[in-house]
Amino acid sequence: MAIFTGSGTAIITPMNPDQAVNYDKLRELIDFQISSGADAIIICGTTGESSTLSEEEHTEAIRAAVSFVDHRVPVIAGTGSNSTETAIYLTSEAQKAGVDGALIVTPYYNKATQKGLIHHYTEIAKKTDLPIILYNVQSRTGLNIEPATAAELARTCDNIVGIKEASGNISQIATLMNLAQGDIDLYSGNDDQVVPILSLGGIGVISVLANIAPKFTHDMVVQYLAGNVKESCQMQLKSIPLIHALFCEVNPIPVKTAVSLLGWEAGPLRLPLTEMEPEHLELLKKAMKDFGLQLA
């Protein structure tokens, strides 16, 4: 059984002016997401600035999200690391916190061979009962999970159940789904490829866009899965200018800015992320207005 079907929001981590995590605002954002149709909350992913959270903040944010969600939708925790032992630790802490699944990115910087990836994920899977979603995002990590590797992991590790595919390579994703033979749940990791990935057997998206358009993103997936392919495709195409604006600088700079533009006071970014360049900010504002979002 899939951890979730539909749109999972890769939620930002709101912060106070002193850059401490703003848990009151996180609760508000989670409530907004769930009331607007989010099918899952993904906490401490890339969009949540996990790479600049300490391990203590990381685990506390996961515990807070589980508490705030209160079983209304699944909570999936980002628990990946370039160190296998650290990933095991974070995943263990997430399991203790009561999450419904773990999203585990490939090792970054030191990277790994495909053999190393199999050992990395297998060791993590052996040390947890949580269902695991692999996270393939070569543009961030410098490392690609090849289709045969993902298929082998899904076949040999009972709790490796899904993959968030953000490679952008549709041909690769088609090959993966052919090799996996139904053994892996496929989620789009790119908001501009939701419908193409659904057409290859995907069951949802782990979304940046959903931070500011949760109902729209949910409905786009639901329409497709209900057989309304034309309507879903039209929604995908409508969203493209806004998605481009949300990635005109490195994620999560634009989306965290966009959340604040909607009046949520998401707070500052942590270095090395910086505030948006003025010309990009104007582009983002225009795209949000053209999409129909009401700026504060």
User: Which positions are annotated as active-site residues?
Assistant: 135, 164
User: Which helix or strand (DSSP H or E) is residue 231 part of?
Assistant: helix 229-246
Cα–Cα distances in angstroms (integers) from residue 295 to residues 187, 285, 289, 291, in the given order? 30, 8, 7, 11
Question: Cα–Cα distance between 81 and 23 in angstroms, integer?
Answer: 24
* Residues forming a β-bridge with 205: 7, 188
Structure-token pair, residue 36: 């607007």
If you search the block for the tokens 């309304």, which residue do you land on? 228
Give the 3-state secondary structure of residue 7. strand
User: Which helix or strand (DSSP H or E) is residue 77 part of?
Assistant: strand 75-78
